[in-house]
Amino acid sequence: MAYTAQDFKKGQPRWCPGCGDHFFLASLHKAMAEIGIDPWNTAVISGIGCSSRLPHYMATYGMNTIHGRAAAIATGCKVTNPNLAVWQVSGDGDGLAIGGNHFIHANRRNINLNMILLNNRIYGLTKGQYSPTSPRGFVSKSSPYGTVEDPFRPAELCFGARGHFFARAVATDAPGTVDILKAAYNHKGAAVCEILQNCVIFNNGTHDNVYSKEGRAKNAIYVEHGKPLIFGENNEFGLMQEGFGLKVVKIGENGVTEADILVHDAHCEDNTLQLKLALMGNGDGFPVALGVIRDVDAPTYDDSVTAQIEEVKATKKYHNFAELLETNDIWEVK
Amino acid sequence: MAEEMIVKELDQVVVRFSGDSGDGMQLAGNLFSTISATVGNDISTFPDYPADIRAPQGSLTGVSGFQVHIGAEKVFTPGDECDVLVAMNAAALKTQYKFAKSTACIIIDTDCFQKSDLEKAAFTTDNPIEEMGIKNDVIAAPISQMVKDCLADSGMDNKSMLKCRNMFALGLVCWLFNRDLTIAENFLREKFAKKPAIAEANIKVIHAGYDYGHNTHSSVAHTYRIESKTVNPGKYMDITGNKATAYGFIAAAEKAGLKLYLGSYPITPATDVLHELSKHKSLGVVTVQCEDEIAGCASAVGASYAGALAVTSTSGPGICLKSEAMNLAVIMELPLVVLDVQRGGPATGLPTKSEQTDLLQVLFGRNGESPMPVLAATSPTDCFDAAYEASKMALEHMTPVILMTDAYVANGSAAFKLPNLADYPAINPPYVPEELKGSWTPYLRDAETGVRYWAVPGREGFQHILGGLEKDNKTGAISTDPENHDLMTRLRQDKINKIPVPDLEVLGDKDDADLLIVGFGGTYGHLHAAMDEMRAAGKKVALAHFKYINPLPKNTASVLGKYKKVVVAEQNMGQLAGWLRMKIDNFVPYQFNQVKGQPFVVSELVEAFNEIINK
């Protein structure tokens, strides 16, 4: 059946005007319509936080649960009914602070979940405390003199947990967001999508360098599997390997041609270079990587659970409770 | 040789097998109880494991015990003290002698009472019997040597041969109680079906032990026989509380036609439920060993939403961590069973020991008004029924339910008459009727039960959002309206209050008792035995034992108000007494509280209860 975004829409979002969540929500509706799974075969599960309000604006099944536990709850849901398309939505506080343990283990187990991480580098609903993705020195209500701790970089956590899919988009970039959401759905296994999203009230401008189309043209690189890693307003720059790292080169300078540019391999099992791409753009002269950075096939947990059950069913002789009882040492009193 | 020995008839006997952790005492004890059960005796067993996984061999901390109580009629506990103590080494004698009656017969393996063994067991002389002032009959047999002689031709190595020592002791005990060895033979052949040589070696050693007793008449004046007085025909198995709990969940899921999902995290003494359920993939059981207790419960909430019979299993420290997700199931009104196998607390406490100290935690340990039904299983076999009932209650009333057991009930075992699932009540979850499509909202309730309907994802036209935020009763949307919150709070409470539970049963002298004993959960056997002993001594005593704690049985107030004196006996500082006082006007009971991590001792109960009667 063909769906439109309207089929997935419900209610009136109550986020602040200009909040990045509005943009993301519209892209999610559009992506789901293009994917074409019935709303009643879709579950959207969030934790607590501004972004975790999202399921209320979906015409699918869903839960807006408790702080940090969305990935764990989504795990039970998916394993119980592998036919459901399960989307897990968390913010940076929900997903990486209180829910950090569930985030890494969902990746390690490779549960077939689409895991959305809306990263605005701030706690919004509690009105402006630093989050685990706020940069060192960040001044907030709970850090009036600046934080004295380093942030998580979500890709590092995902890769460290042996995640097989990582993609990134900017909330205001609808086509870019829809693209990675569809890729996440098509990837079998835990698929982390980091959405760079602005909080207009408590952390305005945190993603300014890439939030506008012009900004992205200058400061971002769209990575695509099998394509050379070229960027710049006039596609004049590229990425090359240098020693253990990457370097930015200008095509046509110092004898560099397009053929010298590194070609993106999202399917490469070894995540070394994918991680380097994912970590670019922290004020280091590199562009921010957008698109599907890693997308590697691996057995999913839910498929493996189902397969193991079928396998054991075929080998064991008992298949109901009465037969189970008979497997014990039994005596008869007459 | 003496004349033909006298066989004494006994009503009941307690045998305690003890030795080093590696000596196979659990197997010997299990086999003896099974042999006894097979001839129709009632059985109750309790293993006493050391806390250390691999304590040094022969050390005092490495002693493992297994107590078996067998009776001609119903036995309610594994027994306070034993009539026969098997001590396979010096350390076992040192630590376990305190569990022996003054009249008990003691069996020791003299080969493990050598100088180094005595030193490890901290004996200071070379005569441990004298040193401990033991006046009992002692069968001192060179068991290790006889086992080696018996298996000399087997081609087994020394270590493997010595692994059969436990069977020699078992053979000796079987002789003492005139047990038929063919049952043991059959069990061993089945247990070691893939290693027939091992089975035959063990069988040979059992016979050697039996014959040793028979030929030497050892040092005892007579052997014993326990005839079964009440026969309840049928097929039986030996089952521990944890296994019975797991079976109860399997049975309930099958009856309800649902997938069984267990989200869990390893924790003593509940882990055996995870182990047991993990085995039964051929029944479609899904077990997820989660990253923590929180995820164990949270994933079960997700599984419940997706339409499973969802269970999470743990002990007290795990309940602390699961509380938040349990509360989520309360406000979302989803079925969930939370199993709490209680152990000693607070904090890590006494992980392998038994208490009833989580009662107030499970009743009240959550933020907000968070009513949850609570059941407490009363015996190893009752764990099956309790797990079935908890599942049925959760599924039919759309609520998380707490099922409490404890380390004693969970690890103890008893003869379990194989249940016929057809005899168990149907389980009918309140699935939303198809005709409500279009008009249904998530908190629409059945007018009579107050239970909301269940719409499982996958059903077209019933998409809805649940969550941890308060919802409008009519629309299901988020609501902070004061009147609505007050209403929802009352609706959630009313729903629990309306759950039907059986009346509280009074046992013993229900019309004219001078003392009513009150308890809950796993102390049933000990309280019952105490009542029996007091009544046998001419006292007027009754017992009212709670299995349903929230909601309380409807007749609770009338039962408790009927007797002059009531004592609430529990393995905590008075949690049930406090709960009853909160619920029943003017209820002021006597209390018997013990928090030792050990099961009650019947003789101590009797003494305390007599004192109350005489006040």
Give residue B496's Cα distance to chain centre.
26
Answer whether B459 touches A (CB < 8 Å): yes
- Taking only the tens place, the pLDDT of each residue in B127-169 is 999 999 999 989 999 999 999 999 999 889 999 999 999 999 9
Could B325 and A66 be called an inter-chain contact, meaning their C-beta atoms sit closer than 8 Å?
Answer: yes
Q: What angle do CA B111, B114, B117 make, to 5 degrees?
A: 105
CB contact under 8 A, B302 and A72: yes
The enclosing H or E element of A157 equals: helix A154-160
Closest CA to B409 of B258, B240, B286: B240
* Of A1 and B476, the one with more pLDDT: B476
Give the right CATH number for B506-614 from 3.40.50.2300, 3.40.50.1820, 3.40.50.170, 3.40.50.920.
3.40.50.920
Query: Which among B88, B87, B162, B90 is positioned nearest to B120, based on CA atoms?
Result: B90
CB-nearest partner of B299 from A11, A72, A104:
A72
Return the pLDDT at B219: 62
Q: pLDDT band for position B226 (50/70/90)?
A: confident
Q: What is the pLDDT of residues B55-81, one digit of tens each?
A: 788 899 889 999 999 999 889 999 999
Q: Do A64 and B467 touch (CB under 8 A)?
A: yes
- Cα(A132)–Cα(B166) distance, rounded to whole angstroms? 58
Check residues B221 and B249 and name the one with the higher pLDDT: B249
By Cβ distance, the residue of A60, A64, A102 closest to B469 is A64
Instruction: Tell me B5's DSSP state.
Output: P
DSSP string, B473-501: TTT-SB---HHHHHHHHHHHHHHHHT---
Summarize the confidence of residues A31-41 as an average pLDDT: 98
How many beta-carbon pairs below 8 A join chains A and B?
208
In whole angstroms, what separates CA A252 from the centre of its chain? Answer: 36
Number of separate domains in chain A:
1
Hey, is the C-beta of A305 within 8 angstroms of any chain B C-beta?
A: yes
**Pairing status of strand B12-20 against strand B400-406:** unpaired
| Residue A70 structural domain | 5-211
B284 to chain A: which residues are within 8 Å by CB? 309, 313
Confirm if B459 and A40 have CB atoms less than 8 A apart. yes
> Does ipTM come in above 0.90?
yes
Tokens 């989580």 correspond to: B358
Helices (H), B126-216: 128-131, 143-150, 158-162, 165-176, 181-191, 196-216
Residues A32, A80: contact at Cβ < 8 Å? Answer: no
Contacts with A319 from chain B: Cβ below 8 Å: 282-283
User: In one letter, which amino acid is B536?
Assistant: A
Query: At a CB cut-off of 8 Å and minimum separation 6, what does B403 contact?
Result: B245, B337, B338, B339, B340, B375, B376, B377, B386, B387, B390
Show which of residues 323-382 on chain B sit within 8 Å of chain A, judged by CB atoms.
Answer: 324-325, 327-328, 332
Classify B324 as helix, strand or coil: helix
* Same fold? B238-423, B506-614: yes
Q: Say whether pLDDT at A100 is over 50.
A: yes
Q: Is B418 on the interface with A (CB under 8 A)?
A: yes
What's the Rg (C-alpha) of chain B? 27
Residue A57 lies in a domain: yes
Angle (CA) B266-A91-A299 rounded to 5° is 50
DSSP string, A207-247: THHHHSHHHHHHHEEEE-TTSB-EESTTS-EEEEEETTEEE
Write down the domain spans for chain B.
6-225, 238-423, 438-500, 506-614
Residue A312 lies in a domain: no
Contacts of A40 in chain B (CB under 8 A): 457-463
Determine whether domain B238-423 maps to CATH 3.40.720.10.
no
**B51 in contact with A, Cβ within 8 Å:** no
The 10 Å CB-count burial string (b at 16+, else e) for B286-298 is bbbebbbbbbbbb
pLDDT score of B229 more than 90: no
CB contact under 8 A, B464 and A56: no
pLDDT level of residue B1 (50, 70, 90 thresholds): very low
Q: Is residue A220 in some structural domain?
A: no
In a domain, A301, yes or no: no
pLDDT for position A333: 82
CB contact under 8 A, B235 and A330: yes
- Please state the rounded mean pLDDT for residues A11-40: 97
Whole-angstrom distance, CA of residue B11 vs CA of residue B150:
34
Class of domain B6-225: alpha beta
pLDDT given at position B39:
84
- Compute the distance between CA of residue B144 and CA of residue B168 in angstroms, rounded to an integer: 9
**Residue B4: predicted pLDDT:** 59
Residues B109 and B129: their CA atoms lie apart, in Å, by: 13
Using CA atoms, how far residue A113 sits from A88, A164, B286, in Å, is 7, 12, 18
In the numeric block, the tokens 């309360």 are attached to B330
Does the residue A75 lie in any domain?
A: yes
Question: Cα separation of B87 and B117, whole Å?
Answer: 13
Q: Report d(CA A149, CA B340) in Å as an integer.
A: 39
Output the pLDDT for position B2.
41
For residue A171, give the nearest of A107, A127, A118, A122 by alpha carbon.
Answer: A118
Three-state DSSP at B46 gives: strand
Q: What is the pLDDT of residue B51?
A: 66
CATH number of the domain residue A113 falls in = 3.40.50.970
Judging contacts by C-beta atoms under 8 Å, the chain B residues touching residue A308 are 281
B283:A320 CB<8 A: yes
| Of residues B103 and B503, more confidently modeled | B503
Q: Does some domain include residue A179?
A: yes
What distance in Å separates the CA atoms of residue B264 and residue B247, rounded to the nearest whole number? 16
Cβ-Cβ contacts under 8 Å, B299 against chain A: 72-73, 75-76, 79
Sequence-distant (≥ 6) Cβ neighbours of residue B381 within 8 angstroms: B239, B244, B414, B415, B416, B417
**Which B residues, 247 through 266, put their C-beta within 8 Å of a C-beta on chain A?**
247, 250-251, 254, 259, 261, 263
Q: Which residues does chain B have within 8 Å of residue A64's beta carbon, measured at their own beta carbons?
A: 465-469
Q: What is the per-residue pLDDT across B392-448, written as a single tens digit (0 to 9) for each? A: 999 999 999 999 999 999 999 998 999 999 999 999 999 999 999 999 999 999 999
Task: Please report the pLDDT score of residue A23 as a whole number.
Answer: 98
DSSP-assigned letters across all residues of A62-95: EEE-STT-HHHHHHHHHHH-TTSEEEEEEEHHII
Q: Are B515 and B492 in contact (CB under 8 A)?
A: no
The structure tokens 């290790």 sit at B144
Measured between CB atoms, does B237 come within 8 Å of chain A? yes
